[in-house]
Copies of this chain bind each other. A is one copy, B any other.
Amino acid sequence: MERRRRGEAVVGSKRGEHMGDIRRGRETGTLGKLMALIDLVALADDPMRFTDILSQSDQPRGTLHRQLSHLVEEGLLETDRDGRYLPGIRLLNLASRSWARNEFRTVAEPHLRLLQAQTGETVHLGVLRGTEVIYLDKVEGRQSVRMYSEIGNASPAYCTGVGKAALSALDDISLEARVSGLQFHAYTEHTHRSVADLQADIAAIRARGCAFDREEHENGICCVAAPIRSDDGDILAGVSVTGPAYRVTPEKLQEWAPLVRAAAAAIMQDIRSRLGPRR
């Protein structure tokens, strides 16, 4: 009668907390199963052999084979010379358009640049998606390392400045709904360990108007972030200034807080006028 549920049992295992997604309920049929496969391959640390995928997706061999063939055919996956599966460059191509014309990002960009100029440190823009933050943009200073590696990246909301800031813009009920049942991974000794920890922090963030990340996600990295929210609650995001702990001292964080809040406010103002209210 009921076919087995896709996704759930399959994808999550690898690295704890991916998929804070809120897509319980609706099924997307064939597409959902294929996306679960893409996720599986894309999230893996190495190219996957057919058998690896077979063991982690509970599809029968024949079915899986056809599914993968279709994905390869469409360029969403590729095979290396050993026949192992990798994410395909078609994804890159689709993403570049998604990025270049993202309205929110476009509107925010000048403010990110200003904030970068004011602080001299790296500025991030990220949107909340479920309980993860996806970085939409990044403006770096002089010592530019690699850019792309961060854009499009998903990180847990509970241990990043942008993520916590965005969460703080939710009302209590929505917040509770999102974070309850969250798995906390101890990235550093400062990472929040429980929902209670997180909620306490978020109360402080609300009072203060900005979030701090003092080496919660990565040792030696600190940031200040402020929440961005559209009036209709459609956009839930954050902007942050990030840098190495030795440069970004607690005093600096305090000093930058107003600037970051101002940037967030300016972005919200621009959203209001440029993107307009719901028509």
A: which residues have CB within 8 A of B?
3, 6, 21, 23, 26-32, 34-35, 38-39, 42-43, 45, 70-71, 73-76, 80-82, 86-89, 91-103, 127, 129, 134, 136, 144, 147-154, 232, 234, 275-279
With A95-B95, A96-B148 in contact, is A74–B28 under 8 Å at CB?
Answer: yes
- Chain B: CB-nearest residue to A127: B89
Beyond the given pairs A35-B74, A87-B97, 12 more chain A to chain B contacts, judged by CB atoms under 8 angstroms and listed by A's residue number, are: A3-B73, A21-B75, A23-B74, A28-B74, A31-B74, A32-B73, A35-B76, A89-B102, A89-B152, A91-B98, A95-B96, A96-B149
Min CB distance, A79 to chain B, in Å?
Answer: 10
The answer on a CB contact under 8 Å between B95 and A91 is yes
Q: Which residues of B contact A3 (CB under 8 A)?
A: 73
Min CB distance, A176 to chain B, in Å?
Answer: 23
The answer on a CB contact under 8 Å between B154 and A93 is yes
Q: Which residues of B contact A234 (CB under 8 A)?
A: 81
The answer on a CB contact under 8 Å between B28 and A70 is yes
With A81-B278, A100-B149, A279-B81 in contact, is A6–B42 under 8 Å at CB?
Answer: no
The answer on a CB contact under 8 Å between B279 and A82 is yes
CA distance A127 to B276 in the complex (A): 40
Identical copies of this chain, number: 2
- Chain B: CB-nearest residue to A25: B73
The answer on a CB contact under 8 Å between A94 and B42 is yes
* Cross-chain contact of A151 among B98, B127, B129, B148 (Cβ < 8 A): B148
Supply 30 A–B pairs (Cβ within 8 Å), ascending by A: A28-B70, A28-B73, A29-B70, A31-B31, A31-B34, A31-B70, A31-B71, A35-B74, A35-B76, A43-B97, A45-B101, A80-B103, A81-B276, A81-B279, A82-B279, A86-B98, A87-B95, A88-B98, A89-B102, A89-B127, A89-B136, A91-B95, A92-B98, A93-B134, A93-B154, A94-B152, A95-B96, A100-B148, A100-B149, A148-B151
The answer on a CB contact under 8 Å between B6 and A96 is no
CA distance A242 to B28 in the complex (A): 44
CA distance A169 to B31 in the complex (A): 37
